[in-house]
């Protein structure tokens, strides 16, 4: 690949990772808020179960990754891998059936965004 195209490719890959991360985090956050409102309306103000709290913590790690993605590629990539793995563990323990399908909808986009960030970081390091 020509050396002059590497910065543009790195920038496009980074933007693709940002968009994927933002879309899936908004999607997951909307699902979490909808579930919390549903629980509140059906049962009133009751303490949240442990699986809901863990899901909120995983969502906060994802949100931190989406924020850090604007400044640093490698730490954001690590946070997104942690998010994907955390969702995989959470789904395998607490979800009913079709674990892989649920993870591919919620966790796989974070893993893809993380790989894109890692590739972008690698490409930007080559041009120096």
* pLDDT given for residue 57 in this prediction: 87
Residue 104: inside a domain, yes or no?
A: yes
Q: Is 1 within the bounds of a domain? A: no
Q: How many distinct structural domains can be found in the chain?
A: 1
Q: Is the pLDDT of residue 126 over 60?
A: no
Q: What is the pLDDT of residue 7?
A: 75
Residue 34 pLDDT greater than 90, yes or no = no
Could you tell me if residue 88 is inside a domain?
yes
Is 2 a domain residue?
A: no
Chain center to CA of 40:
26
- Whole domain around residue 92: which residue ranges? 7-126
Interior/surface letters 48-70, b for 16+ CB within 10 angstroms, e for the rest = eeeeeebbeebbebbbbbbebbe
Looking at the domain assignment, is residue 120 inside a domain? yes
pLDDT in tens, 83-109: 999 988 888 888 778 888 888 888 899
Q: What is the pTM of this model?
A: 0.82
Please report the pLDDT score of residue 128 as a whole number: 44
Q: Are 99 and 10 in contact (CB under 8 A)?
A: no
Please list, in sequence order, all residues whose beta carbon lies within 8 angstroms of the beta carbon of residue 40, skipping any fewer than 6 positions away. none
Contact criterion met (CB below 8 Å) for 65 and 80: yes
Strands (E), the chain: none
């Amino acid at each position: 690949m020509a050396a002059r195209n590497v910065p543009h490719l790195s920038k496009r890959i980074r933007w693709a990772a940002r968009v994927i991360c933002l879309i899936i985090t908004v999607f997951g956050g909307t699902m979490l808020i909808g579930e919390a409102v549903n629980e509140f309306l059906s049962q009133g103000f009751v303490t949240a179960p442990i699986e809901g709290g863990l899901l909120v913590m995983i969502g906060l790690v994802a949100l931190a990754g989406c924020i850090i993605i604007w400044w640093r590629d490698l730490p954001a990539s690590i946070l997104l891998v942690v998010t994907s793995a955390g969702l995989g563990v959470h789904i395998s323990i607490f979800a009913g059936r079709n674990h892989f399908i649920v993870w591919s909808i919620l966790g796989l986009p974070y893993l893809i965004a993380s790989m894109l960030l890692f590739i972008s970081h690698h490409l930007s390091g080559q041009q120096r």
